């Protein structure tokens, strides 16, 4: 575990020359590095970010947009799959309704219809697991950005309180 002592070490680790060069990806990397730096140093660095709140809101917005896009693509895929299964069952029903089929042929078509139903059930279960995982990832990401915001605001409040003359007077009393 590396302990960062100053801003220059943090910039070097992030591969940037200035805080203005901090991309969203590097901002997230910075947040992951925060436990390895002194709280005052972390606060000092965060205060230099041009628009921290705007950045955090943008990250959450981008995550929501990506989640929505994933859900839409998933729904379209699910709809196509279910439509294909329904079309397959319709073909099998037509074949099953033909005259002169043997018992084994009828049994085969019925088994194929059952197989499509089983595939749909499995796909539905798989989809619910996918949606659950996608929602959990979104919630973890939003919580992370929220925690980063709380750390920023909380750190600012601690720094302001530390510099407050009233605190010094109450400590002396």
pTM, entire model: 0.52
83 Cα distance to chain centroid? 30
Q: What is the pLDDT of residues 150-161, one digit of tens each?
A: 555 555 444 455
Q: Is the pLDDT of residue 54 over 90?
A: no
The residues, ordered by sequence, that sit 6+ positions from 40 with a Cβ below 8 Å of its Cβ are: 159
Nearest to 92 by CA among 124, 121, 74, 119: 119
Q: Is the dihedral of CA 144, 146, 147, 149 positive or negative?
A: positive
For the chain, domain boundaries = 1-47, 60-141
The C-alpha atoms of residue 46 and residue 155 are separated, in whole angstroms, by 9
Q: Is the pLDDT of residue 119 over 90?
A: yes
């Amino acid at each position: 575990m590396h302990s960062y002592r100053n801003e220059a070490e943090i910039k070097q680790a992030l591969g940037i020359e200035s805080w203005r060069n901090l991309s969203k990806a590097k901002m997230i990397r910075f947040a992951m590095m925060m436990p390895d730096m002194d709280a005052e140093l972390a606060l000092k660095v965060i205060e230099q970010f041009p628009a921290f709140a705007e950045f955090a809101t943008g990250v959450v917005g981008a995550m929501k947009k990506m989640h929505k896009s994933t859900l839409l693509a998933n729904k379209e895929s699910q709809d196509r799959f279910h439509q294909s299964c329904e079309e397959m069952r319709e073909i099998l029903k037509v074949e099953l309704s033909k005259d002169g089929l043997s018992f084994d042929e009828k049994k085969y078509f019925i088994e194929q219809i059952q197989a499509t139903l089983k595939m749909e059930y499995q796909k539905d279960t798989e989809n619910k697991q996918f949606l659950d995982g996608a929602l959990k990832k979104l919630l973890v990401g939003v919580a992370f950005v929220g925690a980063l915001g709380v750390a920023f605001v909380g750190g600012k409040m601690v720094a302001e309180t530390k510099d407050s003359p009233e605190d010094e007077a109450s400590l002396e009393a």
